[in-house]
Amino acid sequence: MSPEVPPVLGQPIQIHGPGGIGPAPLGAPPRSALDPINLDPVPPPLFPNPQLTEDDFLRVAGVYGAVRPEPAIFFNSDTGALIPRLKNNLQSTVVFPNGVVATVNVPTTDLNWGANFKIELGYRLPDTLGAFAMSWRNFNAEGNGDEPYLLGSAPVKTRLTVNLGDFDYLSAPFIFSPRFDAQYRIGARIAGVYFDTAQQNELFAQHESNYMFGGGPHFYLEGSHRFVRVPGLSAFAGLDTAVILGQVTQRFTAKILPNQIDYQAYSQQFKIISVPSVNFQTGLSFTPWGAHYLKFSTGVQLEYWWDLGNIYNSTATLGDLGLFLRGQVDF
């Protein structure tokens, strides 16, 4: 009797019998418990990792970021119109040369629609390593009106200027499902916010200004939903938060104008403060079919700044609401 041949792992086993099924013939080596024919199939993973396709990269994956999978320089440009809401209660005392003390507290008139611009230049890293970007934003608005002053009323003019500069790291899009993406950006922000108000009649004039300049961190998180039936179209919503640490400087001026002779009093105050802000945007993005290096977005923006002028007895906050239109180009 010939000795038994030890089984070899993975070696195909011949199955005999009617229809190819049945016991092995007598004298055949026994089957190993580790042979594939005796093993249960491998269960599917609990959290499958879907394979990324070209369509996943080409779809609208965020307000900013990749519209193509390859490394590239990208450029964004925003334009829009915002209605600002400035709550200004700046106040301080000034002393005239003759010793008279006066309180300067100029009323603020409503601001008109203002133009909002933003440009961004960035470089997207290969694969899914994210991107780096630099941006600058400018917003200007002013308003005119009549407000009570002494025994009557006098014209009031209010001006507002906002300048923001960001340097950010942008994550690659996180694909949670075939239709939902998320993306974040984190970085540093430099901010300068200036507003002033002036009021004057034939006898008296007063002026006050507030300038905040500083820097700090900011974080942006955005989610988007792709519409399968309209290739290239998606809805998005994003929230940007920041805390600016900087110096606020306030200046106050009062004038008496009898007989064309100018009597003027002046004072200023400053303080280091922190200014938190939030910016919420939501809207639609579209990447034209056959032009995947382009992306257009439009929507609504809501923004708010706290403590812009909180020095001693002064307070100031700023909010705005409006529309924006954005275009992105990959080179």
Indicate which CATH number applies to the domain containing 269.
Answer: 2.40.128.100
For residues 69 and 11, state if they share a domain: no
39 lies in the same domain as 179:
no
**Backbone dihedral region for residue 98 (phi beyond 0: left; psi -120 to 50: alpha; all else: beta):** alpha
Q: How many domains does the chain have?
A: 2
Coil vs helix vs strand at 5: coil
Amino acid code (one letter) for 98: N
Q: 289 lies in a domain? A: yes
Q: Are residues 232 and 279 in the same domain?
A: yes
Q: Are residues 253 and 275 in the same domain?
A: yes
The reply to whether 49 falls in a domain is no
Q: What pLDDT was estimated at residue 27?
A: 57
* 310 occurs within a structural domain: yes
- Name the residue type at position 267: S
Same domain, 25 and 79: no
Please check whether residue 294 lies inside any domain of the structure: yes
Tell me whether residue 48 is in a domain.
no
- pLDDT for the residue 70: 66
| Domain membership flag for residue 150 | yes
Beta-strand ranges (E) seen in the chain are 72-89, 92-95, 101-104, 114-124, 131-149, 152-170, 174-175, 180-200, 204-226, 233-256, 263-286, 294-305, 315-330
| Whether residue 284 is found in the same domain as residue 150 | yes
In a structure prediction context, what are the per-residue pLDDT tens digits for the chain, which is 331 residues long?
555 555 554 444 444 444 444 555 555 555 555 555 554 555 555 544 444 444 444 443 433 344 455 678 999 999 999 999 999 999 999 998 888 898 999 988 999 999 999 999 999 998 788 999 999 999 999 999 988 877 778 899 999 999 999 999 999 888 888 789 999 999 999 999 999 999 988 888 899 999 999 999 999 999 999 998 888 899 999 999 999 999 999 999 998 877 556 688 999 999 999 999 999 999 999 998 888 889 999 999 999 999 999 998 999 999 999 999 999 998 7
Q: Which domain holds residue 188?
A: 54-330
Whether residue 101 sits in one domain with residue 24: no
pLDDT value of residue 17:
46
End-to-end CA distance of the chain: 78
Whether 27 and 107 share a structural domain? no
| Type of residue found at 248 | V
Helix (H, G, I), strand (E, B) or coil at 58: helix
On whether both 324 and 264 belong to a single domain, the answer is yes
User: Do residues 60 and 36 share a domain?
Assistant: no
Is residue 131 domain-shared with residue 219, that is, in the same domain?
yes
Whether residue 308 lies inside any domain: the answer is yes
Same domain? For 36 and 71 the reply is no
